[in-house]
Chains A and B, each alone.
Chain A
C-alpha cells in the first residue's frame, strides 16, 4: 500500500478548491448528522454516544488545561525516538544484507522468524526487561519498526539496476561511493515505503503500549478517561490521536512525493 486512495488521481498537496474540499468531505458531515440523530432520538443512550457538542467542549477544555498537549508530547517523543533509531539501524542493516552475503545469511533467518510476529506481543517482554518507564516503550517501538525498514532497504538495494552500479564504477566511483550514491539512492523509494509502514506501526505500538503499561501519554489518557466514565473527553482524545496519526501520514506522503519527484514522467 504505497499510496492513499485520493492521492492517485488528484494533484499532489492541497491543491483543491474550497468547494471541491467541501464536496469531497461532505460524507463526514453526513455521518456527523447521523451521529447526532442517533443521540437526540434516544435510539442510543447519551452515555454510549455523547453529543458532538459535548465532545467538542471536552476537547477545548483538555486543550486549554494542557492535559492533551502534555500527554501528546510525551507519546510522540517516545514514538519519534523509537522510530528514528529503527530507521537508522534498519537502513544500515538492510544495506549490509544487500552488500554482504555473510550479513544476509546471519540476519535473514532472524528476519524470517520475527517478521510475521505480531509486535504487540513484545509489550510484556519490554516490561520485564525495562519496567514501566519510557525506555520500555521506546524499545518496543524500535523493535516493532525495525523490520519494515530493514526489509524495505534490503529489497530496494537488491533491486537497484546493476547497470547503474557499473556506470558509476566506470565513471570513477569507489566502492563506498557506489554504495552511498547509487545503492542507497536507488533504494530510496523502497526505503521510503518501508518507513511509512514503520510510521504506522509506531503509532499503533505507541497507543497500544500506553493502553497496557503507562503512567502518561495519550493512550494512557484515553484509557483512564474511559475508566473514569468521562466519555465525551474520551471520544475527543481518541479523535485527536486518530487525527495526529492521519496528519503524520499525510505529511510523510507529501515529503515522500517531493523527494521522489524524479520518478514522475
Chain B
C-alpha cells in the first residue's frame, strides 16, 4: 500500500494512480426510524496501487454501496476511506466511475459526452478535441462521434461511457457491474478490452460484479462478500498470467479457481436466501 503521493493531483493531466485504504467502514440505510438496515459491517480492505480488484458477492451484499462510498457519492457514516489524495469526502475526477446503466448524458452526442469531463478539467480546446477522439478511437466508436446515446446499442453505449471516464484519466477507476446489462458475447469482448486498457494504463480498478468468471478473468485480487450485513468473507489472489485472452478460459488453473470461488459465493448466496425467508 503506497501512500507516497500525498499532494493532490495536478489540475491538468493525469491523476496519479493510488491505492485505496478502507478501514472499519460500516453503513446502514434508513437508520432514522430505528429499524435501519445494516448494509456494510466493519469493512477493512487495502487495495494496492495499480491493482485490479473485484468485489464479488450475491445481490444485496452491499458491494455497490461500498463502491459508492469509495466514489464519495454517499457520505461515509463510520470508518475511514482514504486514497493518496486524503480521506474521501466528495466525488471527484481522481476516482471516476462507470455505472451498470451507462449514465451517459442522453442529450449529448458521444463526443460531447467524452468532452464533458475534459472541459471540467480545463484542457485547452485543441487538446480536448484530440484527447476525446483518441479515447473514442480506443473504444472503437470511430464514426459514431455525433450519435446520441439512444441511437447506439447497449455495448456501444457502455464503451462510450468507458471512454468518457478514461478520458479524464482518473487514478482510480470504479466500475459498478459495467457489463451487467450486455449480452454474453459483447460482455466477453468488453472484458478483454478492459483488461488490455488496464494493462497499458496501470490504473487502480475497483470492479463490482456478481459474475464469478468475470471476476476471475479480470482481477488480481477478489474480495468475496457476504450478504446482509455485508462483510468481506474471503480475499483471494488470482495468480494467472497478466496477458489473458480467450484461451485462458481453457486454462486448468482458471477453471479450478473459478469453481473454488463459485462454491464460496454459493455458500453466501444460500445463506442470504435462508436469512431472507
Instruction: Decide if A and B touch, CB cutoff 8 A.
Output: yes
Contact A171 B164 (CB under 8 A): yes
Which residues of chain B are near A161, meaning CB under 8 Å? Answer: 101, 103
A19 within 8 A of B: no
Select the residue from B71, B93, B95, B120 with max chain A CB neighbours within 10 A: B120
Contact B107 A185 (CB under 8 A): yes
CA distance in complex: A173, B116 (Å): 9
Contact B105 A164 (CB under 8 A): yes
Which residues of chain B are near A265, meaning CB under 8 Å? Answer: 150-151
Contact B151 A170 (CB under 8 A): no
User: Nearest Cβ distance between residue B205 and chain A, in whole angstroms?
Assistant: 14
A-B contact count, CB below 8 Å?
75
Q: In the complex, which of the residues B73, B116, B164 contacts A166, with contact meaning CB atoms closer than 8 Å?
A: B73
Contact A166 B97 (CB under 8 A): yes
Contact A170:B105 (CB < 8 A) given known A262-B148, A265-B150: no
Which residues of chain B are near A262, meaning CB under 8 Å? Answer: 106-108, 148-150
Which residues of chain A are near B107, meaning CB under 8 Å? Answer: 185-186, 188, 262
Which residues of chain B are near A168, meaning CB under 8 Å? Answer: 105, 116
Contact A170 B106 (CB under 8 A): no
By the criterion of a CB under 8 Å from any partner CB, how many residues of chain A are at the interface? 22
A264 within 8 A of B: yes
Contact B96 A171 (CB under 8 A): yes
CA distance in complex: A181, B112 (Å): 12
Encode contact with B along A153-167: 1 for CB under 8 Å, 0 otherwise: 000000001011011
B91 within 8 A of A: yes
Contact B120 A171 (CB under 8 A): yes
User: Nearest Cβ distance between residue A101 and chain B, in whole angstroms?
Assistant: 14
With both beta carbons as reference points, the residue of chain B lying nearest to A188 in the complex is identified as B107
Q: In the complex, which of the residues B73, B105, B106, B174 contacts A169, with contact meaning CB atoms closer than 8 Å?
A: B73
User: Nearest Cβ distance between residue B154 and chain A, in whole angstroms?
Assistant: 12
- Scan residues 180-214 of chain A and give those whose CB is less than 8 A from a CB of chain B: 181-182, 185-186, 188
User: Nearest Cβ distance between residue A160 and chain B, in whole angstroms?
Assistant: 10
Contact A172 B117 (CB under 8 A): yes
Q: In the complex, which of the residues A163, A173, A261 contacts B120, with contact meaning CB atoms closer than 8 Å?
A: A173
B90 within 8 A of A: yes
CA distance in complex: A167, B164 (Å): 10
CA distance in complex: A264, B71 (Å): 32
Contact A170 B101 (CB under 8 A): no
CA distance in complex: A264, B107 (Å): 10
Which residues of chain A are near B72, meaning CB under 8 Å? Answer: 169-170
Which residues of chain A are near B104, meaning CB under 8 Å? Answer: 167
A263 within 8 A of B: yes
Contact B92 A167 (CB under 8 A): no
A177 within 8 A of B: yes
Contact A170 B93 (CB under 8 A): yes
B144 within 8 A of A: no
Contact B91 A166 (CB under 8 A): yes
Select the residue from B116, B149, B174 with max chain A CB neighbours within 10 A: B116
Which residues of chain A are near B121, meaning CB under 8 Å? Answer: 172
Contact B96 A264 (CB under 8 A): no
Contact A185 B103 (CB under 8 A): no
Contact A171 B168 (CB under 8 A): yes
- Scan residues 246-265 of chain A and give those whose CB is less than 8 A from a CB of chain B: 261-265
User: Nearest Cβ distance between residue B159 and chain A, in whole angstroms?
Assistant: 15
Contact B150 A170 (CB under 8 A): no
Contact B120 A185 (CB under 8 A): no
Contact A170 B92 (CB under 8 A): yes
CA distance in complex: A161, B103 (Å): 8
Residue pairs across A and B with Cβ atoms less than 8 A apart, 12 shown, are A166-B68, A166-B73, A167-B104, A170-B93, A171-B116, A171-B164, A172-B93, A181-B116, A261-B148, A262-B106, A262-B148, A265-B151
Give A contacts to B, CB under 8 Å: 161, 163-164, 166-173, 177, 181-182, 185-186, 188, 261-265
Given contacts A169-B90, A188-B107, 7 further A-B contacts (CB under 8 A): A164-B105, A166-B91, A170-B72, A172-B121, A181-B116, A261-B148, A262-B149
